[in-house]
């Protein structure tokens, strides 16, 4: 796959992925826009700059593995895979339709590039720890990247997995936390407070990198600054839910509500304006 080295090219791809997300969701009439839009910069940086992978050889043994724990944000995963060349983009419009491989939560084996099945929250880090442990014991050079939501950290299983990763010095494991501070019932700090969040990861023995998850240059720099010190790394990415669509940004009500036709047209129009501004900027 051609790697996008230029930050502006990565920003443009993130914009494309956001448009795809909106089109998928309005077509399916269901799904999760807020987290999907907020994570577009993270997924773009991974699939088009950071990950070692080959869309033509999805089972290549030396590939990096990406585990999606918060599976409801699968629209951003599907759009990233399609734009990277894993399957035709036309398939995106079948999201959540009967018989479609683009299910409401990813299913391993349904599409090339899907590394794990997800749905029940709080389990992705455990799966990623297992993969990283195998890689470490077999002396493999690939990394495991686990994408997880902040609300998932209400689950005790998450913290058990973090302890195990530290015990076995899994420096081939990177957990990316989508710190958008919302979940289906409200803000994370109202539902079950997580702060001081980064300090908790540090107390469990992890490297912690905090970053603005919607600043492409900072995101790429964060992935490229992971230390090699026999510790797993957590990237706490501060993102805006619904990023790029003004009426969705920061609103937990858009956690799991698809836009209607008028809303989708307004959203696409905003994203097109943003793209034009990018193209005109030096």
List, for residues 92-147, the tens digit of each pLDDT value.
Answer: 999 999 999 999 999 999 999 999 999 889 999 999 999 999 999 999 999 999 99
Calpha distance 205→208 (Å, rounded): 9
The answer to the question of residue 236 being in a domain is yes
Q: Residue 177: enclosing H or E segment and its boundaries?
A: strand 173-179
- Number of domains observed in the structure of the chain: 1
Within 10 angstroms of residue 244's Cβ, the number of other Cβ atoms is 23
Other residues' Cβ atoms within 10 Å of the Cβ of residue 194:
17
pLDDT at residue 281, as a whole number:
77
The CA–CA distances, whole Å, from 38 to 165, 179, 186 equal: 27, 10, 16
Q: How many whole angstroms separate alpha carbon 78 and alpha carbon 72?
A: 11
User: With 0-12 CB in 10 A as exposed, 13-18 as middle and 19+ as buried, what is 56?
Assistant: exposed
Structure tokens at 39: 């994570």
- pLDDT tens column, 139-164: 999 999 999 999 999 999 999 999 99
What is the DSSP code (8-state) at residue 104?
S
Cα–Cα distance measured from residue 132 to residue 45, given in angstroms and rounded to the nearest whole number: 21
* 214 occurs within a structural domain: yes
At residue 38, the 3 state secondary structure works out as helix
Q: What are φ and ψ of residue 124, in 5° steps?
A: -65, -40
Asked whether residue 31 is assigned to any structural domain, the reply reads: yes
**pTM for the whole structure:** 0.96
Q: 1 or 263, which is more confident? A: 263
Question: 22: which residues sit within 8 A by CB, 6+ positions away?
Answer: 33, 245, 259, 264, 267, 268, 271
Tokens (6 digits) for 224: 């490229």
Task: Please indicate, yes or no, if residue 2 is contained in any of the structural domains.
Answer: no
SS3 69: coil
Residue 226 lies in a domain: yes
Residue 1 lies in a domain: no
Both structure tokens of 43: 């997924």
Q: How far apart are CA 198 and CA 97, in angstroms?
A: 39
Residue 171 has pLDDT above 90, yes or no: yes
Q: Is residue 148 part of a domain?
A: yes
**pLDDT tens readout for residues 231-270:** 999 999 999 999 999 999 999 899 999 999 999 999 999 9
Domain that holds residue 34: 7-280
Domain of residue 78, CATH code: 3.40.50.970
Q: The tokens 């803000």 sit on which residue?
A: 187
Give CA angle at 18 (78, 236), nearest 5°: 80
Rounded CA-CA distance 66/61 in Å is 13
């Amino acid at each position: 796959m051609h790697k996008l080295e230029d930050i502006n090219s990565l920003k443009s791809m993130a914009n494309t992925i956001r448009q795809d997300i909106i089109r998928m969701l309005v077509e399916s009439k269901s799904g999760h826009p807020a987290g999907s839009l907020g994570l577009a910069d993270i997924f773009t940086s991974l699939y088009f700059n950071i990950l070692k992978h080959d869309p033509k050889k999805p089972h290549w043994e030396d590939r990096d593995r990406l585990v999606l724990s918060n599976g409801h944000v699968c629209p951003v995963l599907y759009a990233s895979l399609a734009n990277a060349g894993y399957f035709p983009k036309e398939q995106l419009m079948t999201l959540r339709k009967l018989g479609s491989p683009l299910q409401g939560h990813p299913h391993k084996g349904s599409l090339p590039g899907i590394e794990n099945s997800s749905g029940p929250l709080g389990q992705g880090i455990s799966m990623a720890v297992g993969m990283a442990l195998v890689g470490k014991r077999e002396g493999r050079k690939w990394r495991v990247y686990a994408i997880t939501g902040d609300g998932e950290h209400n689950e005790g299983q998450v913290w058990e997995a973090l302890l195990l990763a530290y015990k076995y010095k899994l420096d081939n494991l990177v957990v990316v936390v989508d710190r958008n501070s919302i979940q289906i019932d409200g803000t994370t700090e109202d539902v079950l407070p997580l702060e001081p969040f980064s300090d908790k990861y540090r107390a469990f023995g992890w490297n912690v990198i905090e970053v603005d998850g919607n600043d492409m240059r900072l995101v790429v720099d964060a992935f490229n600054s992971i230390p090699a010190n026999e510790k797993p790394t957590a990237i706490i990415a501060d993102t805006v839910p619904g990023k790029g669509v003004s009426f969705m940004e920061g609103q937990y009500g858009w956690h799991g509500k698809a836009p209607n036709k008028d809303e989708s047209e307004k959203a696409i129009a905003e994203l097109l304006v943003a793209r034009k501004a990018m193209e005109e900027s030096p």
